[in-house]
Amino acid sequence: MIEKPHPLALALASLKRSAQPDAPRFALVLGGGSGRNILPLLSAHIAVDVIEEDAARAQALRDRFDQEPSVRVAHGPYAEPNVFARQYNAVLSTHALLHGSSAAISGTLEALKELLAPDADMMLTLGSARDPRLGTGQRIDAQTWTPLESPEKGVPHVYYDREEARTALRSFAVVSLREVCARDIVGRWAHAVDATPEIVHWFAHVKNEGGAAPL
């Protein structure tokens, strides 16, 4: 059974579909997962490049979209997003920026900015400090905790309050930033149904002010 696309994927596809519909458009998806979020972008006639850190998921995505010339998939670290040497009108990250460390996420965001066209839109999720998992497991830094139990044992999670989230996004113009109970919309490939009583994410829509120099 194919999962429904993430709300941010649908929102980004709708936004880019209505803006300059005849102009070439390219999106970078950070973390391809099951591929559920690629489909709405394709339906909006957006070419999609995907970076996936998990080798098995990257291969599964290649297999799934083997006959789709508008999709390219690379296996590699999210912190090094300049894989395809392309400038993007849109970036989507529904889970890739939830894990790692606050320093690593900041570094990835700065690297992404270098790939964005002027006025490009990026929609992403960040972990919220209101998530009940904050403070459980092993503390890695001021904002990062690694669960010692659960299906995500050993995976560091980064949590932000509103001020910290805005600081992390300081290189961009924040269009919207809202907290969402995300338990019902996270990918089932990433979370078991009963893995946690609640998952709270920040949903952010940011724009690239000024834009990067053409690649």
- pLDDT reported for residue 146: 86
153: how many CB neighbours lie within 10 A of its CB? 10
pTM score, whole prediction: 0.88
> How many structural domains compose the chain?
1
Query: What HEC string does 13-58 produce?
Result: HHHHHHCCCCCCCEEEEECCCCCCCHHHHHHCCCEEEEEECCHHHH
In percent, the amount of the chain with pLDDT more than 90 equals 68
Rounded to whole angstroms, the Cα distance separating 147 from 139 reads 9
Asked if the structure places residue 151 within a domain, the reply is: no
Question: Which of 116-125, 135-144, 158-167 is predicted with the least confidence, judged by mean pLDDT?
Answer: 135-144
Asked if the structure places residue 213 within a domain, the reply is: no
- pLDDT reported for residue 214: 43
Asked if the structure places residue 141 within a domain, the reply is: no
Q: pLDDT digits over 46-97, tens only?
A: 999 999 999 999 999 999 999 999 999 999 999 999 999 999 999 999 999 9
Asked if the structure places residue 45 within a domain, the reply is: yes
Neighbouring residues of 153: CB distance < 8 A, sequence distance ≥ 6:
147
Asked if the structure places residue 168 within a domain, the reply is: yes
CATH of the domain at 50: 3.40.50.150
Range of the domain at 20: 7-127+161-194+201-207
Percent helix, strand, coil in the chain, to 5, is 25, 30, 45
Q: Compute the average pLDDT of residues 151-160.
A: 85
Q: pLDDT digits over 10-50, tens only?
A: 999 999 988 766 666 899 999 999 999 999 999 999 999 99
Q: Which amino acid is at 128?
A: S
pLDDT(170) > 70: yes
Q: How confident is the model at residue 184 (pLDDT cuts 50, 70, 90)?
A: low
For residues 64 and 195, the model is more confident at: 64
Asked if the structure places residue 139 within a domain, the reply is: no
Asked if the structure places residue 79 within a domain, the reply is: yes
In percent, the amount of the chain with pLDDT more than 70 equals 87
- pLDDT reported for residue 187: 52
Rounded to whole angstroms, the Cα distance separating 30 from 34 reads 12
Rounded to whole angstroms, the Cα distance separating 131 from 121 reads 26
3 state SS of 123: strand
Asked if the structure places residue 145 within a domain, the reply is: no
